[in-house]
């Protein structure tokens, strides 16, 4: 029993030394982030997004973010599924809000600009039953916001939980598009 305590104490000291000497959120440090999530609570496996981003840390735990995103959603009309796809690029700034001293767990908020293209029913204006779609494909633009809870799994690997909302203009569908997801960021 005393030997076990000794081993646990040594392990605790070693872990404490390695976690306190780790440098996180160093200005200029770059990262790659992959996030996936649902666009609605109804069938999240069919209504989803995939988000790939590059981050560059700045001072105070903040970072710049550039991303490419694919959103896929289905609408139903008289039993027929109508696919809606959006391809977007996004750039913005992420602000550190709250966190512990070692930046092990942080709460962040981001503001971004969004530009993209949306395709409704893969460009087909007529449905199988002969109905005409009034919604059209086109370019979209707008702004986005996200609130993330981030925690370091290791010094270079970050788990990201994200709640997001985009306000898009130039669309004939919903302008406000909320979503939630999770992902991983690898910091170099």
Render pLDDT for 20-73 as a digit per residue (tens, 0 to 9).
Answer: 445 677 888 999 999 999 987 677 678 899 999 999 999 988 999 999 999 998
- Classify the phi-psi angles of 18: left when phi > 0, otherwise alpha if psi is within -120 to 50, otherwise beta: alpha
DSSP assignment of the chain? -HHHHHHHHHHHHHHHHHHHH---S-TT-EEEEEEEEES-SS-TTTSEEEEEEEEEE-GGG-EEEEEEEEEEEEEEETTEEEEEEEEEEEEEEEEEEEE-TT-SEEEEEEEEEEEEEEEEGGG--B-TTSPBP----EEEEEEEEEEEEEEESSSSEEEEEEEEEEEEES-SS-SEEEEEEEEEEEE-
Domain ranges of the chain: 25-187
What sign for the dihedral angle of Cα 103, 106, 112, 115? Answer: positive
So what's the pLDDT on residue 16?
60
> What CATH number does domain 25-187 carry, 2.40.160.20, 3.40.50.150, 3.40.50.1100, 3.40.50.300?
2.40.160.20
Contact 186, 160 (CB under 8 A): no
So what's the pLDDT on residue 130?
63
Q: Return d(Cα 90, Cα 108) in angstroms, integer.
A: 17
Stretch 85-101: mean pLDDT: 93
Burial of 18 (0-12, 13-18, 19+ CB in 10 A): exposed
Q: How confident is the model at residue 77 (pLDDT cuts 50, 70, 90)?
A: confident
Q: Return d(Cα 25, Cα 62) in angstroms, integer.
A: 8
pTM value is 0.79
Stretch 131-150: mean pLDDT: 86
Q: Return d(Cα 37, Cα 61) in angstroms, integer.
A: 24
């Amino acid at each position: 029993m005393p030997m076990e305590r000794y081993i646990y104490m040594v392990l605790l000291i070693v872990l404490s030394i390695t976690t306190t000497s780790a440098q996180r959120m160093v200005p200029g440090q770059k990262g790659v982030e992959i996030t996936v999530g649902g666009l609605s609570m109804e069938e999240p496996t069919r209504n989803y997004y995939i988000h790939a981003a590059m981050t560059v840390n700045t001072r105070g735990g903040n970072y710049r973010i550039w991303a490419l995103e694919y959103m896929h959603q289905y609408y139903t009309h008289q039993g027929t599924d109508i696919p809606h796809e959006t391809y977007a690029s996004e750039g913005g700034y992420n602000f550190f809000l709250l966190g512990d001293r070692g930046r092990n767990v942080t709460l962040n908020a981001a503001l971004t600009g969004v530009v993209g293209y949306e395709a409704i029913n893969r460009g087909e204006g007529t449905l199988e039953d002969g109905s005409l779609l009034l919604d059209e494909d086109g370019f979209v633009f707008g702004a986005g916001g996200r609130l993330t809870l981030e925690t370091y799994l290791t010094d270079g690997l970050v788990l990201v939980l994200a709640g997001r909302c985009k306000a898009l203009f130039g669309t004939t569908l919903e302008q406000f598009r909320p979503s939630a997801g999770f992902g991983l960021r690898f910091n170099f």
